[in-house]
Amino acid sequence: MPIKIRAAEIRDCDRMMELIRELAEYEKAPDAVTVSLDHFQNAGFGKNPVWHALVAKTDDGIVGFALWYTRYSTWKGTRLYLEDIIVTESHRGKGTGRMLFDAVTDEARNRGMTGMMWQVLDWNEPAIRFYNKTKGVRMESGWLNAHLDF
Amino acid sequence: MPIKIRAAEIRDCDRMMELIRELAEYEKAPDAVTVSLDHFQNAGFGKNPVWHALVAKTDDGIVGFALWYTRYSTWKGTRLYLEDIIVTESHRGKGTGRMLFDAVTDEARNRGMTGMMWQVLDWNEPAIRFYNKTKGVRMESGWLNAHLDF
């Protein structure tokens, strides 16, 4: 079944949120998703879009996506932050993740960014293997994530 | 000496970059700063600003700053990402960091964000102590930072 990568559209948001919940379950945090569809749509397609995404589509519908936003590193300058890259379980192992990752890399280069970054859970071995196979990727431990919820 | 917190202006960028280099040395990565003053200024004060900052000013000039950008969490929605909070060594221990941190928290609340996040090096004990004293902050290990430089 051919896979097509294209920019996300507002009508994709419902399905994307299903995939976000699927990833949260995989990452052992099923209750962590508190964002609403309305907020999600507005943040991506409202007056000042914060996130951008590419979706992977087959005849069955959307099977995965990559979502990113622009970050600023005071060391490296403007960079792409890859927030999520998700392929639904039944479609894994077919190269969809690689297609999405490469397309995101192209986006960052085309926008003149100096690079990109993202985070991986240290027990997520399939993801770590995937990134270890990706030329130029370096992974770094030793940082804590700090959160403050209002 | 009274300390005043105000929004950063383009003329502050030179001094801010000095402080960025000071932090990079403290974080044992003195050569990691490759961004130019021109790029830094443009990313903060050009047509599409990516970063925002508050500076701490005394009669001696700028002694610290906090720099942030908008991130999007697919779990939590629009949040503030605190990229750097720096107080120059000679001015530490006077509450400047706390003033900057509280002012950033106010910014995030006033913009209707759902919270904020940042990273801390796991050996940076003074910073970890500071955040442990801050109500509501939770710190999380187990994530790797992945980078791809172009």
Give whole-number Cα distances, A28 to A118, A127, B75, in Å. 18, 15, 13
Quickly count: other Cβ atoms within 10 Å of residue B110's Cβ: 8
pLDDT at residue B1, rounded to an integer: 75
Residues near A56 by Cβ (< 8 Å), separated by ≥ 6? A3, A4, A5, A62, A63, A64, A65, A87, A91, A96, A99, A100
Does residue A131 belong to the interface with chain B, where contact is any CB pair within 8 Å? yes
Residue B139 lies in a domain: no
pLDDT value at residue B28 = 87
pLDDT at A1: 75
Optimal mutation site among A102, A131, A147, interface B, most CBs of chain B within 10 A: A147
> Low-confidence residues of chain A, pLDDT below 70?
none
B15 is a domain residue: yes
- The answer to whether A81 and A70 are in contact (CB under 8 A) is yes
Predicted confidence (pLDDT) per residue in B66-79, tens digit: 999 999 999 999 99
Instruction: Write the residue in A23, A35, A146 that is nearest to B131 by C-beta.
Output: A146
How far B61 CA sits from the closest chain A CA (Å)? Answer: 20
A50 touches chain B (CB under 8 A): yes
Instruction: State whether residue B11 sits within 8 Å of chain A by CB.
Output: no
Residue B57 lies in a domain: yes
Does residue B142 sit within a domain? no
Residue B100 has pLDDT above 80, yes or no: yes
CA distance B50 to B18: 20
Q: Which residues of A are marked as active site?
A: 131
Under 8 Å between Cβ of A49 and B59: no
Q: What is the mean pLDDT of residues B9-29?
A: 94
ipTM value for the complex = 0.92
Q: Name the pLDDT band for B30 (thresholds 50, 70, 90).
A: confident
Number of domains in chain B: 1
The CA distance from B109 to A21, in Å, is 26
Q: What pLDDT is stored for residue A106 in this prediction? A: 97
Using one digit for the tens of pLDDT, what is the confidence trace for B124-143?
999 999 999 999 999 999 99
- pLDDT in the model for residue B45: 97
Residue B100's domain spans which residues? 4-132
Dihedral (CA of B7, B32, B133, B94) sign: negative
**Whether A129 contacts chain B with CB within 8 A:** no
Q: Residue B149: inside a domain, yes or no?
A: no
CATH of the domain at A71: 3.40.630.30
- Where residue B51 falls among pLDDT bands split at 50, 70, 90? very high
Q: Residue A143 is nearest to which of B50, B113, B119, comparing CB atoms?
A: B119
Q: Quick check: is A100 in a domain?
A: yes
Does residue B137 form part of some domain?
no
